[in-house]
């Protein structure tokens, strides 16, 4: 799922399904567009598109070769806090899960 603004990709969410879970592989956001709610809206659109599913992810920042100096990733603690605000909770498997009963949280300005 990609968000385009003025013809440019500014946010992307990649996910796949397996064993009844939707695994969020990565959420990529250009640093110039961070903190504007775009990635949150993409995840909320993913939740809405797959009602009744549980989403799982590992909150770990990673670097893109050739882009990291220009667009440094946030640290893992900041990512975990962001995912928690979106309704993800720590699960027994060490990942963060967003379950159907958590619903879609309203965006806070």
For the stretch 20-40, pLDDT in tens is: 888 888 777 766 777 777 888
Query: What was the pLDDT predicted at 103?
Result: 57
Domain topology for 2-102: Aminopeptidase (3.40.630)
Q: Any idea where the domains of the chain sit in the sequence?
A: 2-102
Distance in angstroms (rounded) separating the CA atoms of residues 104 and 85: 11
Specify the pTM. Answer: 0.73
Secondary structure of 50-87 as H, E, C letters: CCCCEEEECCCCCCCCCCCCCCCCCCHHHHHHHHHHCC
Distance in angstroms (rounded) separating the CA atoms of residues 56 and 109: 25
Distance in angstroms (rounded) separating the CA atoms of residues 77 and 97: 16
Distance in angstroms (rounded) separating the CA atoms of residues 87 and 6: 30
């Amino acid at each position: 799922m990609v968000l385009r603004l003025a013809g440019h990709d500014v946010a992307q969410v990649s996910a796949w399904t397996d064993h009844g879970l939707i695994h969020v592989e990565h959420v990529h956001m250009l640093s110039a567009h961070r903190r504007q709610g775009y990635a949150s809206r993409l995840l909320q659109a993913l939740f809405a598109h797959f009602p009744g599913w549980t989403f799982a992810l590992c909150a770990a920042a990673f670097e893109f070769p050739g882009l990291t100096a220009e667009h440094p990733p946030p640290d893992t603690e900041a990512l975990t806090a962001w995912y928690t605000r979106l309704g993800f909770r720590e699960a027994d498997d060490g990942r963060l899960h967003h379950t159907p009963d958590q619903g879609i949280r309203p965006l806070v300005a």
